[in-house]
């Protein structure tokens, strides 16, 4: 399936919860995706409940290709994630105080993370990108853009003189860093829900010349300095050109074209919503006794929990989980058509995808963590 084939978050009395005020109804938060420049009507592709593939509903077959472990002792995996494959085929993995590079065969090559505030050092590594044969790392406290060559030599470093309440890096394109950020609103003296929109922003490699590209409605619950977001946003970028966005409780995906600065279309499908189990603990603000202060939990799980680009198609992990088969994954083509679905049963969660392979974080019976690469068979 070719994706471009068809293109042209204390301590307070629980009674304070009654004093929450909503600027507008929660349902309104999830109905629109709007740009700052204009409110444009976009095409919405409405798909049926079943995809076109007659073999939909199967359990996906996988074949192990590679197992990356910490047996050598140069590092220790705790929470490996945010894996990316560089242009030369080498594999980069983030972990706590680690930014690791491996050969395409899984041989450990280098750790770029050195804790500190000096040149080439980081207190907290936020994300990274590639530019030719260079690694661009983004760190905080202080916030810096650090450039290394693949051998770990420091090439450049820029300290940013502004910080962001929230920072979610997306990709590097045409010497500009694209990311989502939130501006933290002014808080009052009582628990309340405030608007804190996601803003798709870009800046140059010196951290200057900020541009706003897209605004997505979002709210946060705040009380006594503690906060919790209402809702969830997940994204997937394709070739640093198209950005797939889901920021609603219900099943809806928007496609944003970075070059034209337009939302091209949205698509959805008929979907049976899933109620959370009784012991499900939603993120929120709780008092010292463990009582939930807010916000009010949704009645259903978010329909879309993650999205991935695989084989030039969009994979959507849904809230549907079968105890024997795993999570239900939907597959869409770029034109918004619902092409396929299958169950993914693995020992851990997907931490990345690359071409016809997926990378899974797995933990064995001895609690040893590894990153396993699987080839998709069908």
Q: What is the pLDDT along the chain (378 residues), one digit of tens a residue?
A: 444 444 433 323 323 333 333 333 334 333 333 443 433 447 899 999 999 999 999 999 999 999 999 998 999 999 999 999 999 999 999 999 999 999 999 999 999 999 999 999 999 899 999 998 999 999 988 889 999 999 999 999 999 876 665 678 899 999 999 999 887 777 777 888 889 899 999 999 998 899 999 999 988 888 877 888 888 889 999 988 999 999 999 999 999 999 898 999 999 999 999 999 888 877 888 877 888 888 888 899 999 999 999 988 999 999 999 999 999 999 999 999 999 999 999 988 899 999 999 999 999 988 999 999 999 998
- Name the CA radius of gyration of the chain, rounded: 21
Supply the pLDDT for residue 16: 31
- Say if CB 337 and CB 328 are below 8 A apart: no
HSE-CB at 263 with a 13 A cutoff on CA atoms is 25
Supply the pLDDT for residue 166: 62
CATH 2.120.10.30 applies to domain 14-376: yes
Residue 129's nearest CA partner among 22, 203, 67 is: 203
- From CA 57, how far away is CA 329, in angstroms rounded? 9
Residue for token digits 């299958």? Answer: 342
Supply the pLDDT for residue 22: 32
Supply the pLDDT for residue 37: 41
Domain range list for the chain: 14-376
CA angle 320, 321, 324 (to 5 degrees): 150
Supply the pLDDT for residue 188: 74
Are β-strands 58-59 and 338-344 bridged in parallel, bridged antiparallel, or unpaired?
A: parallel
Supply the pLDDT for residue 5: 41
Supply the pLDDT for residue 209: 92
What is the reported pTM?
0.85
Question: Other CB atoms closer than 10 Å to residue 318's CB: what's the count?
Answer: 21
């Amino acid at each position: 399936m070719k994706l471009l084939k068809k293109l042209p978050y204390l301590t307070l009395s629980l009674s304070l919860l009654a004093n929450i005020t909503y600027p507008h109804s929660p349902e309104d938060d999830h109905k629109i995706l709007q740009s700052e420049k204009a409110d444009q009507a976009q095409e919405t592709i409405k798909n049926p409940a079943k995809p076109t593939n007659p073999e939909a509903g199967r359990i996906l077959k996988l074949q192990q290709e590679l197992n990356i472990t910490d047996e050598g002792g140069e590092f220790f995996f705790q929470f490996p994630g945010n894996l990316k494959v560089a242009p030369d085929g080498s594999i980069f993995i983030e972990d706590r105080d680690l930014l690791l590079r491996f050969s395409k065969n899984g041989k450990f090559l280098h750790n770029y993370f050195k804790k500190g505030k000096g040149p080439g050092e980081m207190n907290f590594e936020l994300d990274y990108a590639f530019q030719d044969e260079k690694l661009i790392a983004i760190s905080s406290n202080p916030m810096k853009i650090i450039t290394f060559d693949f051998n770990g030599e420091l090439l450049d470093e820029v300290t940013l003189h502004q910080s962001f309440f929230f920072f979610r890096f997306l990709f590097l394109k045409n010497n500009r860093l694209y990311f989502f950020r939130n501006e933290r609103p002014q808080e009052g003296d009582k628990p309340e829900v405030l608007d804190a929109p996601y803003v798709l922003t870009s800046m140059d490699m010196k951290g200057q010349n900020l541009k706003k590209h897209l605004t997505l409605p979002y709210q946060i619950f705040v009380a006594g300095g503690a906060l919790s977001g209402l809702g969830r946003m997940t994204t997937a970028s394709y070739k640093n050109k198209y950005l797939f966005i889901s920021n609603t409780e219900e099943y809806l995906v928007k496609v944003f074209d970075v070059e034209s600065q337009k939302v091209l279309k949205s698509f959805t499908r008929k979907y049976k919503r899933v109620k959370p189990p009784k012991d499900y603990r939603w993120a929120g603000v709780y008092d010292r006794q463990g009582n939930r202060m807010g916000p009010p939990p949704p009645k259903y799980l978010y329909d879309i929990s993650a999205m991935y680009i695989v084989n030039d198609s969009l994979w959507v992990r849904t809230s549907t989980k079968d105890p024997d088969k795993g999570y239900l994954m939907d597959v869409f083509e770029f034109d918004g058509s619902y092409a396929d679905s299958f169950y993914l049963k693995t020992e851990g969660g997907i931490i990345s995808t690359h071409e016809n392979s997926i990378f899974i974080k797995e933990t064995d019976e001895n609690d040893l963590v590894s990153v396993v690469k699987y080839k998709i068979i069908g």
